[in-house]
Amino acid sequence: MGLFLLVTLGWLAPVLPALGTRALGHPGNDVWNHIWGYWEVAQSLTAGHLPIHTDLLAWPHGGALWFIDTFDAVLTLPIQWLAGPVVAYNLGIGLNVLLCGIGAYVLALDVSASWAGALFAGVAYMSAPHLLGQAYNGITETMAAGWLPLAIAACRRATHDPRPGRAALAGLAFGLNAVANWYYGMFAGIALGGLLLRALAALPGSPAAGRRVQRGAFALLVGALVTGLVVAGPFLLFLQSMAAPDAIVTRDPSFVWMTLVMHNMTDVVALFHPGRFYSPDLKAAFDEDLIVVIYLGFSLLVPAAIALLGPLRRRAGSWGALTLVYLVLTLGPFLYVGGRYLVVDGRWLPLPFLALFKWFPLFSRISHAYRFSLAVTLGLAVLSSLAIAAAERRGRRAGLAVGALIFARLVETAGLSSAVVPIPWSDTSLAPIYHQLTGGAVLDLPVTMPVLARSQWIISQLSHGQPIPYGLNDPLPYYLYVNHYTRYLVELERSQVALLPPVVPSLDLVAGRAEATSRGLRWIVIHKDAYPTAQYRKVAQLLDETATAFYDDDALRIYRLDGAG
């Protein structure tokens, strides 16, 4: 536990000096959305209602929203009540990293019966480059990966000895893992399917096979009921929030498909290429700061290969098969190698994922096939623990070798993988003036900047608590385009003209402003540093003529709309 805690503190080191204002993750990514989600869930629950709808986003209508990391937001509620959402966000990541180490240790110890092997597995899993990449991206629900090995370990014990108590515990662990992250629920489901198939294959040659089938069927029913009790409510709310007419976040099938094959491709080379190798390069292709990190690491691949060839290869075989299944699914629907799809007979070469995507509804929701790489890492970690266990059986002292393996893993992750170490942090401190923005909706400008980078405007709600027009990752809120006043502001931003036109549509602007204020828009905040100089000048000039200046400093210029001449 002490080693796992040290590794966790290493993750959090960049934000430890100021846990309340520094948030782990790149400021151009999803950090802001997830901090807001923690805060919004706490606000809703404190007010006594479920966090399934919000009036704070997508002004003037609001909408249905199930925050994707509601699980961790609820778990960290005590931290948030005591120290605020930024501390809860940071410590939530830290607790999940720690749980990754503990979970992989429990699973590997159960499989290998080697404490040294389990220790290496725990460190290897919690230091997975993919997890570091997700922390860089600020996507906190993917950090809840410690529940996955715990769920598999509980299911493994229940299938080996199908008693109702063990089955209930497995159902609970499986359900918590699924609620924490739907992807990880699927990963555990694949592992459970393998465990059940292996148990069925062993039945024909076993005595009292019929009795074992009855016990197993009853245990499976118990586990399924417990899982259903845990999962049903959150899953239904999640589906309803996306299917609602006013859904803030949707999963349109065509969008999911295009995202899967044009944005979130899995490059085979990136699994094994050391160094800062990113493919797809989202910065070059889409001007996004998100990074795709799926590097597995030779410090994990080598001992895993030794396990498959060593004296415990029969026991390792099932884990090798499971890891191979995860690896094939990681590759997505088509084979993508070296920055391009492999073409055969004029078509992209299809992979098994494509059939599953078309035939199974749950797979049709997957837009990030490369997340299966984390399950590959877990499988390799367990295989590595078997290699260490085999060495111990031969009478070799494993302590020094495991220490060297752990050191190699940490060095490779920090210095030789595509993960960014140390993880950058985002400054969440807010100007005191935000507390004075009361009584109506707030529009932060500029609008026309990368969507994830613009999501930082959402964080100001932690101070002023007023509605804003933006949704989550919404390129251009619909209302800003249909209202004449706000649309003109957006068009000024987009225009390459350096000066405000000599003639502006005064009637449209007056009517648009009146309509916006009647719906509750009260404040417009200009973030000066986010504007090119020429664009700032013409937007500010228009607002000077159509709104009332309220505040101005080096960073912000704020206007009040009501009562403007």
pLDDT of residue 565: 38
- Report whether 392 contacts 114 (CB < 8 A): yes
pLDDT for residue 564: 43
List average pLDDT for each run of 10 residues in the chain, which is 565 residues long. Answer: 94 97 96 96 94 94 94 97 97 98 98 95 98 97 98 95 93 98 97 89 66 79 95 94 90 88 96 94 92 96 94 88 97 96 94 94 89 98 95 76 92 96 96 95 92 91 95 86 92 80 79 93 95 85 92 95 61
Both tokens of residue 128?
């997975």
- Inter-residue contact 439 to 522 (CB < 8 Å): yes
What CA dihedral angle connects 29, 31, 36 and 38, to 10 degrees? 140
Please report the pLDDT score of residue 311 as a whole number: 83
For residue 210, the model assigns a pLDDT of: 66
| Whole-number pLDDT of residue 563 | 54
Q: For residues 303-336, b (16+ Cβ closer than 10 Å) or e, as one string?
A: bbbbbbebebeebbeebbebbebbbebbbbbbbb
Q: What is the DSSP string of 171-187?
A: HHHHHHHHHH-HHHHHH
Using one digit for the tens of pLDDT, what is the confidence trace for 65-99? 999 999 999 999 999 999 999 999 999 999 999 99
Taking the complete model, does pTM exceed 0.85, yes or no?
A: yes
Q: Are 37 and 72 in contact (CB under 8 A)?
A: no
Rounded Cα gap, residues 510 and 487, in angstroms: 13
**Residues near 247 by Cβ (< 8 Å), separated by ≥ 6?**
63, 64, 65, 241
Task: Provide the β-strand partners of residue 347.
Answer: 344
Q: Rounded CA gap, 111 and 472, in Å?
A: 42
Q: 3-state secondary structure string, 261-316?
A: HHCCCCEHHHHHCCCCCCCCCHHHHHCCCCCCCCCCCHHHHHHHHHHHHCCCHHHH
Nearest to 172 by CA among 154, 160, 190: 154
Q: How far apart are CA 559 and CA 557, in angstroms?
A: 7
What does the pLDDT read at residue 13?
Answer: 97
